[in-house]
Amino acid sequence: RHGENPGIKKALPSLDEVAEAFFEIDEIEGRHVKQERNRYQKHLAPYFGKDDLTAISDTGLTRHKGLLLKTLSPASVKLVFALLRRMINFALRKRMWTGTNPVSSQSDFKMPKVENKGERHLFPEECQLLLDALEKRSPQLRDMAMLSLRTAMRATELFDLKGKDVRPETNSIFIEAKGGKRYEVFVADDVIQMLLHYRKGPDDHLFTSRDGGRLKQIPKTFNRVVLD
């Protein structure tokens, strides 16, 4: 076409440009991005923001991981690189860039190891990151995780929850624990509204499998999201 030089290739977007498009889509879809924007601006933008994605190598990422580990916990550093992985996957899906994600599980870059010593409570930002990732894969699984985080419900208690257990008039739900004992838990308005959204009959399970039956185990999607 007139005015175009076929010998000049279009410049690849910088990571800053990819990040802006990534956060814009998340905001349009109603997700909270403030924490992740702050994480990007503090831990990624100063080092990779002006580079296009071809300049981000596994060697550079490994060096940056070592730098971050001097001041941050392995769990916090893992959140930084999980965010970068999601942004690059976004760029690939939107055809902003073609290539191999240098933060993927197939690359030579290794995520920080997080020691699993007994119980470890999630930080608020980790909870939100988990919920956002689950929402993209399975809204029901996201709701189950949110309910568990807010009430400490076990998986089997989530599976057994029925329409009659939701009491909007008292902002509470009834949970059947081991041994058949039932107890009442008071929850916030947004939890009640989320559960009522399922519009189930009194004896219908709120959360169901693909065939509409009672869930028997946490879907594999959960583990894939956690390990991603």
Query: Where do the DSSP E strands lie in the chain?
Result: 166-167, 172-176, 182-186
Query: What's the pLDDT score for residue 150?
Result: 86
The dihedral region occupied by 118, where left means phi > 0, alpha psi between -120 and 50, and beta the remainder, is left
Question: 3-class SS at 77?
Answer: helix
Answer yes or no: are the C-beta atoms of 159 and 215 closer than 8 Å. Answer: yes
Smallest CA-to-CA distance from 167 within 140, 147, 196, 144 is with 196
Rg over CA atoms, the chain: 22
Q: Which residue, among 209, 211, 212, 197, has the nearest Cα to 163 in the 3D structure?
A: 197
pLDDT in tens, the chain (228 residues): 434 455 445 578 899 999 999 999 988 887 778 888 999 999 999 999 998 888 898 899 999 999 999 888 888 888 899 999 999 999 999 998 888 899 987 888 998 887 655 455 666 777 888 888 888 888 999 999 999 888 888 888 999 999 999 999 988 999 887 777 788 888 888 899 999 999 889 999 999 998 888 988 888 888 777 666
pLDDT in tens, 33-63: 888 899 999 999 999 999 888 889 889 999 9
Tell me the CB-side half-sphere exposure of residue 158, using CA atoms within 13 A.
25
* Residue 27 pLDDT: 87
pLDDT tens-digit series, residues 188-212: 888 999 999 998 899 999 999 988 8
